[in-house]
Chain A
Amino acid sequence: MSSREEILKTAENLRWELGERFHDLTVEALYAEASRIARKTVSAAGTRPGFDFERALDRLVTGKWTGFPIMFALLGIVFWITIEGANVPSSFLASVLIDSLHPLLKETGSSFGFPWWLNGFLFDGMYLAVAWVVSVMLPPMAIFFPLFTIAEDFGYLPRVAFNLDALFRRAGAHGKQALTMAMGYGCNAAAIISTRIIDSPRERLIAILTNNFSLCNGRWPTQILMATIFIGALAPPLLSSAVSALAVVTVVVIGVAMTFIVSWGLSKTILKGQASFFSLELPPYRPPRIWQTVYTSVIDRTLIVLWRAVVWALPSGAVIWLVSNIHVGNASIAEHAIASLDPIGLLVGLNGVILLAYIIAIPANEIVIPTILMLTALVTGMTGVGSGAGVMFELESEAATAEVLRAGGWTLLTGINLMLFSLLHNPCSTTLYTIYKETGSAKWTTLSALLPLSIAFVVCFLVTQLWGLLF
């Protein structure tokens, strides 16, 4: 036997003799030595300052009566700044990229003698989808992520996880999931990356699989539009905006409830029984460095996610244009698809247009409403709205949008179901791709798409049946 094999054999035999305490002994010896060195070389000033700012702050933000109010107030401020602050740059980008640049590109195309189909395919399809994603997605993310990162750098976020852990523990999840959820209100794809802070694999998977129930930035406009057109309109004019706001908040709350229910369900079924260990370090507060934070969070989070979204939006824009412009028989592919999807759509209180829009606009939720409007105009043969087959559009006034949708056969039920479907359906392809990157598993990626999708169908189906019974 070689001397190398002999070494291994000796070690192997000794292992049984040493038994299980071996690891403990090694670690204990290391820590004993570490303690001894630290005692010898570190001296803390004898008197602590009379008022310890950090401890006082910790008591305040984790206090029984003060912890949650502070948390909700800060969260509210962050969302408010994001929504208000994003309006201006968003409409600026839209006016530049969609209103000015888009016609200009088409003209340039024509002047180079592009055939109509190439012009349409390139600029009405691919370019427009990308422009839409950029103008809707970029500004809120560029505001939300730096704010979030500043709170993170300061050290506040771990305290939030500390406060909320009890809730998540009961659902079999990790307190840090509170933060990945909050991140999800900005962008699910970025939130999936942020689940890296959860160090136990089981809890991290739960956070990934349920993140979708945090209503992302791309879905807020859909919710607000539906709430305004279909629910707010039911109330007297004075109350209508309050009622529609209430409707959106209800959807958010349903989302939070679903997060806990599904987390609990997962931890009782597929992820059953895996032991895990919870420890959460509360780092010392550190003054955040604002500019560096803005820089790195824009680079690290916003641009990476935006890039992925753009990469997915390109082919999707092409598909959207192609299905509306390629004709088979006497109708476009889109019209055939809508006709065959209609029965399924109606069963769950939606319609073929919505289902097709969700299929072809999978890269980004931002382009779902423009696609729906375009497809509705296409199937109803409306004239005077939009600019032709395959060209996504949005309308200035909600009343005009409502008119288009009503012409497409939409009712209050359709509106409510679309709100629910938008909350519960599968994540966008950018997020799915990110999930695949993070988990490295096709199995979990598939589950993260099919689980919410089937929940969305079941919930919409039940609501529709209940509706039928009641009215």
Chain B
Amino acid sequence: MTTFLILLAILLTGLAAASLIVRKRRIRARVAAEDALKHIFHCDSSGTPCTLNSLAGALSCPIDVAAEIAKTLGEQNLVAVRGSELALTSEGREYALKVIRVHRLWERHLADETMVGELEWHKEAEEKEHTLSHEEAESLSKRLGHPVYDPHGDPIPSPSGRLPGEPGKNLEAFREGETVRVVHVEDEPGNVYKDLVDAGLYPGLDVTIRERTDRGVVLEHEGRATFLPGVTAGNLRVERSTAPVKTGPRKTLASLKPGEMAVVTGISPACRGLQRRRLMDLGVVPGTRIAAELRSATGDPTAYRIRGATIALRREHAELVYVD
């Protein structure tokens, strides 16, 4: 009897393991196929030809594997082969847009609703784009208030599969002394993106072009000047800013001592999503007069008088509110 039970247990464990392996392999195949569709889509929209070679490079796999993938996609009527070039069929394009939508929604979610750092966004979304179901993606989109841009400034395809062109222009298009607003910070390659993040640049930020040389460009924002080499600056897209030019470090709400009063000039673009909405719902918008009233017995949070109500905010949030 006992022997029989042990044998049964081993058998069941074996079956479970086998099904896991099969599942894993199926997922891996799906990931490769979806990544391939994305690559062909990006080639399409940037106007560069997509070949088996470029596909193999994008998927970092041998060319015969890439060929196998292309063949399967062709059988599924997602990819059409024209000579040596690969192109998406309309079904393929729709599929690719869905994957991109999930990817960008997930990045938006990471930026707005989590404390995951910006350098991790892309990597996590690369995985999530293959596993999130359509329903999950739509309920996520709803919760986020149906965003139209990801945190890098890339437009999010609509559920019906529409996508506008890239926003903004290259920095080249603007002169020294002009103030521009960052609308897109390219997140690939990762090391260039890291330089841009380290320079404190993110979509929504106003920067002034201080100097332009052959080697690169000097930008000034929030009281600091940053030199960006040409390659790095090429990964920024900007548009003309209508905001008045501001130099010098920003004063924030957190600097007020009890009894002091100030007028809000803006909320940091780094304050996104839910946090931003909550703050604005409290009446923290440009022009609001805010007085610091009380410090808690432990020194943080501080209670502020905002539009007739006394509201306690933690220091980390008060630092996101610019005042004058």
Contact flag (A, B; Cβ within 8 A): yes
A residues contacting B by CB (< 8 A) are 12-13, 15-17, 19-21, 23-24, 27-28, 31-32, 34-35, 55, 58-59, 62-64, 67-68, 162-167, 169, 175, 273-284
C-alpha gap A163/B303 in the complex (Å): 11
A27 near B280: Cβ-Cβ < 8 Å: yes
Give, as a whole number of angstroms, the nearest-CB distance from B101 to chain A: 13
Q: Is B158 interfacial (CB-CB < 8 Å)?
A: yes
Q: Which residues of B contact A34 (CB under 8 A)?
A: 307
C-alpha gap A284/B312 in the complex (Å): 13
A20-B288 CB under 8 A given contacts A58-B294, A163-B298, A169-B314: no
Q: Which residues of B contact A277 (CB under 8 A)?
A: 274-275, 278-279, 317
B275 near A275: Cβ-Cβ < 8 Å: yes
Q: Is B114 interfacial (CB-CB < 8 Å)?
A: yes
Other A-B pairs beyond A23-B280, A275-B115, A281-B311, 14, CB < 8 Å: A12-B160, A19-B148, A19-B167, A27-B285, A59-B294, A162-B296, A162-B312, A165-B298, A166-B300, A169-B314, A279-B311, A281-B309, A281-B312, A284-B310
Q: Is B62 interfacial (CB-CB < 8 Å)?
A: no
Q: Which residues of B contact A274 (CB under 8 A)?
A: 113-115
From B303, B312, B314, residue with most partner A Cβ within 10 Å: B312
Give a binary string over B278-313; 1 marks a CB under 8 Å from any A CB, 0 the rest: 111111011110000111111111010001011111
Inter-chain contact count A-B, CB under 8 Å? 128
B274 near A279: Cβ-Cβ < 8 Å: no
The chain A residue sitting closest to B163, CB to CB, is: A16
Give, as a whole number of angstroms, the nearest-CB distance from B54 to chain A: 28
The chain B residue sitting closest to A30, CB to CB, is: B285
The chain B residue sitting closest to A65, CB to CB, is: B297
C-alpha gap A59/B294 in the complex (Å): 7
A62-B295 CB under 8 A given contacts A277-B279, A278-B301: yes
C-alpha gap A20/B267 in the complex (Å): 13
Determine which of A13, A24, A31, A165 lies in contact with B296 in the assembled complex, contact meaning CB atoms within 8 Å.
Answer: A165
A166 near B296: Cβ-Cβ < 8 Å: yes
The chain A residue sitting closest to B151, CB to CB, is: A20
Q: Which residues of A contact B147 (CB under 8 A)?
A: 20
Determine which of B112, B204, B296, B312 lies in contact with A275 in the assembled complex, contact meaning CB atoms within 8 Å.
Answer: B112
The chain B residue sitting closest to A16, CB to CB, is: B164
C-alpha gap A16/B317 in the complex (Å): 28
Q: Is B123 interfacial (CB-CB < 8 Å)?
A: no
C-alpha gap A201/B39 in the complex (Å): 38
Q: Which residues of B contact A55 (CB under 8 A)?
A: 293
Q: Which residues of B contact A21 (CB under 8 A)?
A: 204
Q: Is B149 interfacial (CB-CB < 8 Å)?
A: yes
The chain A residue sitting closest to B295, CB to CB, is: A62
A162-B149 CB under 8 A given contacts A12-B162, A64-B297, A275-B115: no
- Would you list 12 pairs from A and B whose C-beta atoms are within 8 A, ordered by A residue? A20-B148, A27-B280, A31-B283, A31-B285, A31-B288, A62-B294, A64-B297, A67-B296, A163-B296, A165-B301, A279-B311, A282-B310
Q: Is B92 interfacial (CB-CB < 8 Å)?
A: no
The chain A residue sitting closest to B269, CB to CB, is: A20
The chain A residue sitting closest to B279, CB to CB, is: A277
B301 near A162: Cβ-Cβ < 8 Å: yes
